Amino acid sequence: MTKPRAPTPPFSRSRRAFIQRAAFGAAALPLAASAGGALGQAHRGLSEARSAAAGQDSERGSGAADEPRLVTLQINGQLHTLSVDPRATLLDALRDDIGLTGTKKGCGHGQCGACTVQVDGHPFLACLTFAVMLDGRRITTIEGLAGPGGELHPMQQAFIDHDAFQCGYCTPGQIMSAIACVEEGHAGTPEEIREYMSGNLCRCAAYPNIVAAITQAKLAMQAR
Ligand code: FES
Ligand code: FES
């Protein structure tokens, strides 16, 4: 059971605006888990990475292991063709090669959920996923959630409505996981939400507000 946190001090208008831009701004930024969520993503990413590595090793000699590979990623509806180190993670490709810095690097080891994105509609930990594994796959980051007119996704709006963040660093990953939580049918009760979201850590302890935001967004998403 998550303990209620102390009341959040009110943000100044400028601080709130800064955090909202950082966590939700479509231009500045792009963004699930538990035993079935983050841990599940970690296992999914590792499993696919091992399979891809095994397949690649059988297809080429060991001398080609370090050669850059061409990969085409479909990110937020746009195609990006990159030359990447075969060991480059999706997280590094997003942030360093494409400039989508909304997806955050927390632990880099599959432990915190800050790097959560969606691949073909499923949550993945970008820090555990090799970019070369995703040729032709459909990737959605936090920058890809807003509508064409800039309207926020119901989950983004719900996080704002419920002050479900303080520093905002974990928020992109929280939102991507939260969307999967609803879409995969794990938002029936607060306990179910906490279980699914348990792989997304928040050092600011905004957990009660995050659960409230997901509960609100679930209704809006179902009404869409
Ligand atoms: S789980 Fe990927 S950065 Fe922590
Ligand atoms: S809002 Fe600061 S780490 Fe979650």
Find the 65 Cα to ligand 2 centroid distance in Å: 38
Same domain, 181 and 84: no
How much is the pTM? 0.77
**Ligand 1, residues 115, 130, 169: which to mutate, most atoms within 8 A of Cβ?**
115
Same domain, 75 and 138: yes
**Ligand 1, residues 94, 112, 129, 141: which to mutate, most atoms within 8 A of Cβ?**
112
Same domain, 197 and 214: yes
Q: Within a domain: residue 3?
A: no
Dihedral (Cα; 44, 45, 46, 47), 10-degree rounding? 50
- Partners of residue 74 on adjacent β-strands: 79, 138
User: Is the separation of the CB atoms in 48 and 133 below 8 Å?
Assistant: yes
Same domain, 118 and 73: yes
- Residue 145 in 3-state DSSP? coil
Q: Between 178 and 39, whose confidence is greater?
A: 178
Same domain, 150 and 134: no
Same domain, 101 and 197: no
CA-nearest residue, atom 1 of ligand 1: 110
Same domain, 19 and 111: no
Same domain, 128 and 179: no
User: Is the separation of the CB atoms in 172 and 142 below 8 Å?
Assistant: yes
Domain count, the chain: 2
Same domain, 117 and 152: no
User: Is the separation of the CB atoms in 217 and 154 below 8 Å?
Assistant: yes
User: Could you give the CA distance from residue 89 to residue 131 in angstroms, rounded to a whole number?
Assistant: 5
Q: In the listed set 144, 170, 204, which residue is the last one of a domain according to the structure?
A: 144
Find the 63 Cα to ligand 1 centroid distance in Å: 30
pLDDT of residue 224: 85
Q: Within a domain: residue 137?
A: yes
Q: In the listed set 117, 144, 171, which residue is the last one of a domain according to the structure?
A: 144
Does 127 sit in the ligand 1 pocket, CB within 6 Å? yes
CA angle centred on 169, ends 133 and 217, rounded to 5°: 85
User: Could you give the CA distance from residue 105 to residue 97 in angstroms, rounded to a whole number?
Assistant: 15
User: Is the separation of the CB atoms in 132 and 69 below 8 Å?
Assistant: yes
Find the 171 Cα to ligand 2 centroid distance in Å: 6
Nearest to 141 by CA among 221, 77, 86: 77
Provide the 8-state DSSP code for 205.
-
Same domain, 54 and 130: yes
Nearest to 123 by CA among 200, 25, 49, 193: 200
Q: For residue 187, what are the domain limits?
A: 15-29+146-223
Residue 116 has pLDDT above 60, yes or no: yes
Q: Within a domain: residue 153?
A: yes
The CATH number of the domain holding residue 182 is 1.10.150.120
For 46-93, write each residue's pLDDT tens digit: 455 545 544 544 544 445 678 999 999 999 999 999 999 999 999 999
For 132-172, write each residue's pLDDT tens digit: 999 999 999 999 999 999 999 999 999 999 999 999 999 99
The two tokens of residue 165 are 């963040």
Compute the average pLDDT of residues 27-42.
41
Atom number in ligand 1 closest to CA 105: 3
